[in-house]
């Protein structure tokens, strides 16, 4: 990967981090095994964004079954007060890692996990961000921020899926 690609990737990570900072809840959309789409509010973990987003959940939740069936998810972030609307697409996985959970833990999660980090049902959802779009209310158009999947496959950079002209940045893990 050349320096320009690394720079674009770093800029994309920084831009997405800026767009979703201070938005505590994302709506996570999964595809159930029967094909129905389902959205649920999820608290995004407040750590430095590096291309992955993390969420706590219960091993027994429907979203775990959905993710095991289909790893593609969408996260919708919204902050109407300052006109920030972001749609993130990524590949989700269920992670059982107590040390990572301890890094992300906040006492607020005791409401869902009364046994804390010792709760046997506590698992993490890791979302590897593949692409994101945000609404630029100044220009009244959607801006494609990331298109990781295509750039990793082709090594040729990003292709505009909507065949519209707008700025593109990509993240490379």
| CA 133 – CA 145 distance, rounded (Å) | 5
| CA 37 – CA 81 distance, rounded (Å) | 27
Residue 146 scores a pLDDT above 90? no
103: confidence class by pLDDT, cuts 50, 70, 90: very high
- If one compares 151 and 145, the residue with the highest pLDDT of the two is 145
Domains identified in the chain and CATH numbers = 3-154 (2.30.110.10)
Residue 109: name the closest of 28, 46, 19 by CA.
Answer: 46
The β-bridge partners of 35 are none
Q: pTM score, two decimals?
A: 0.78
4: confidence class by pLDDT, cuts 50, 70, 90: very low
| CA 123 – CA 120 distance, rounded (Å) | 8
- If one compares 5 and 84, the residue with the highest pLDDT of the two is 84
CA 81 to chain centre: 21
From the CB of residue 6, how many other CB atoms can be counted at a distance below 10 Å?
11
Q: What is the pLDDT of residues 42-94, one digit of tens each?
A: 998 877 788 899 999 999 999 999 999 999 999 999 999 888 899 999 999 99
């Amino acid at each position: 990967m050349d320096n320009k690609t690394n720079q674009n990737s770093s800029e994309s990570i920084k831009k997405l981090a800026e767009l979703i900072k201070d938005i505590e809840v994302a709506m996570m959309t999964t595809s159930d095994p029967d094909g129905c789409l389902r959205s649920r509010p999820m608290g995004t973990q407040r750590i430095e964004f590096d291309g992955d987003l993390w969420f706590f959940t219960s091993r027994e939740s429907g979203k775990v079954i959905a993710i095991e069936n289909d790893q593609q998810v969408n996260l919708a972030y919204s902050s109407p007060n300052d006109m920030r609307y972001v749609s993130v697409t990524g590949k989700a996985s269920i992670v059982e890692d107590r040390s990572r959970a301890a890094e992300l833990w906040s006492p607020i999660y005791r409401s869902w996990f009364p046994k804390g980090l010792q709760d046997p049902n506590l698992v993490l959802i890791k979302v590897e961000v593949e692409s994101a779009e945000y609404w630029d209310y100044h220009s009244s158009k959607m801006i494609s921020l990331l298109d990781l999947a295509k750039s990793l496959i082709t090594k040729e950079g990003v292709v505009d899926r909507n065949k519209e002209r707008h700025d593109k940045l990509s993240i490379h893990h």
